[in-house]
Chains A and B, each alone.
Chain A
Amino acid sequence: MSQTTLERAVEDVGPLRAVFITAMPDCLLYDAWERAEDGFEVEEIAAYFGDLVRSNRQGLKALGSWSSDMQVTIESAESLVVIREINEHFVCGCVFERSAPLGMVRLQMKRMIERIAEMLPQVEAQERPRGVRLVEFVSRYAPDPHAALMRISVRTGLTMEQLEAAEGLDADAVERLESATKRILGLTQLSV
């Protein structure tokens, strides 16, 4: 989807500040639109929104109350953020002005998602190797990101070169990688 296309999909949505389209399951930025030069790190934000939706999905499934049309709404001091899973391949995160009435936002969100959904391509997503996704995940969320791969290396016995080419890791190596990732992030399970 070109920038022009996304711009057309969000026109007339007055209080909207930014839109991020995340390609799943790898949480990669597909497209973004910003009304002003807010200086957002668009790739990072898209990745965080993707992870958030995935975690939310896991949590709701654990509660037995998951449905495919779920929507996450976050009311922060500065903005109103609504994140919605468009389909299994794409997540849309929208940042609205904080002053926008919630009812109006929901209505606009519904119309906008319909327009965006029509513009998105039909894709057959190919999931990347789990090792690659784990390396990206720990690099994104480790408390000392500059040291994340070195920490994983000494914990797993996998060399830095192996971690940088994680698509070639065998099942045992991926298991060690997952275990080290959980330990570093203080998590008992990963929904990567």
Chain B
Amino acid sequence: MKYYVIRNYTVENMFDESCSFSLYNALNIKEINKWDGDAVVCFLMYPLTGNYKDKISALEANIETLKLLINSCTKRLILLTMHPISKSYHPAYDFELLRLVNNYNEICWKAGSTNGNVICFDYSSFLKQYPDSLLIDWKHFYLSQLGLNPKLVRDFQDWFSAQYNSFLSIRKKCLVLDLDNTLWGGVIGEDGMEGIKLGGSYPGNAYEDMQRRIYAAYENGVILSLCSKNNETDALQVIENHPNMILKNEHFAITRINWNNKAENIQDIANTLNIGLDCIVYIDDNPSEREIVKSLLPDVVVPDFPDKPYLLPSFIEDILCKYFSIYSVTKEDINKTLQYRQNAERNEFKNRFRDYNQYLKELNMFLEISLAKLVDIPRIAQLTQKTNQFNLTTRRYSEDDIKNMVNNKDIVLCARVKDKFGDYGLTGVCILKHNGVDSVDIDTLLMSCRVIGREVENEFIRQIIQYLSKLGYKHITSSYIKTNKNSLVESFYENNGFNIKEQNANCKNYELYIDNYNTESKNIVEVIWDDEKKNN
């Protein structure tokens, strides 16, 4: 299966290679809706770093991400519930954290049960099988942000594919119902309209209650059919005229009330509706009828019938849960839902776009830019060594290289990023080299993949250009050097107002006359400058 996984920690080792992964805590709706695969998985894990305040703000942001995703994703969406892991020393904090986790999970379940495109998998119930102490391997968490103990990864994969397979295989469309002693108590042919038990006191109330639940399933798109050995006129008279009969003739797509073999009738129902026998669940109180259907039509699901009427409502509820959960709508229904949505989306594109920017604003992102200080040099060298994706030129430098640049009057800028999810520290670098009197070349521009995808990178380049303008520069050159890993940024400079000067398969060179630059800030990221002279 090919999934696109939205995540806040490292989960690449939990899915197979064909999957794609979002940037950390980033939600790119356009990219998701364009992406071609089986399903989008929203896998935000309980925040593992910081104190309770940090966790509360991360959880609040997770909830916003989830809501935005549910409202704007047009793909099949799998939501994983969240499982609270650590405990704080203060019960009131725990309570607040738990409240937010419950809120998150409630949104998952609600979307899963009301939206045909959304499925909810209870990741929390998977983790509950293990003691808390086994869930996270803190070494691998702090080394690589692994969100699950690698020892549990194989179990996770089995669990996940079992969830998905059961969702795919248990998709039934049609509920075929018997009448006597199934939808009402007694036998119409013997007891007559007045004698059958339906409504009123026990056991009639249990039959009526069961009918109410079946009616709700009908309203949610389950196809109902009748298959009963009876005189059709007797049966139809009850259906149309009994005051407590909830299910009426119009609710049944097909009725086969006759004395034919039930297996034949069910085959006929399947043919007429043009659905497979494996899409049918057959409910009948009579064990021998059930046996016949089971042996002649092995694809039809034939559940055992409870022997007491008071068990009927919960019996039918279980059947509906198991075989007709709301996400089990037919493909046509999904397409219809999709069409409706896509239209709505086109109409409201502007609104949604504003919402997305609003959403980003609410992440409270801070970008702090400063000239490199001595203490920053090891981290800067490390970033040039390790950063692959958001790295325009992928030039690798040692600490000495960086030190020489700083002493050489090259401009080395560092970016520190902070948001609701946490403080990422020094995660961006820009190295500017003099090109002439009023011209510089962007030798290196990189950012850690933990912070990009949320406008920070665009604000960073905008700030760099403004800064150079303030220093009196007129002209900037830059380049994109292609590697196996950095296709993410192949159009970064074009998108930020630079012009392509020359280009070949592996490299693009750009220039920008600062006077012509007029890209406005989206004012999403708050910027703090610390450009005091270096040398400290």
Instruction: Note whether A and B form a binding pair.
Output: no
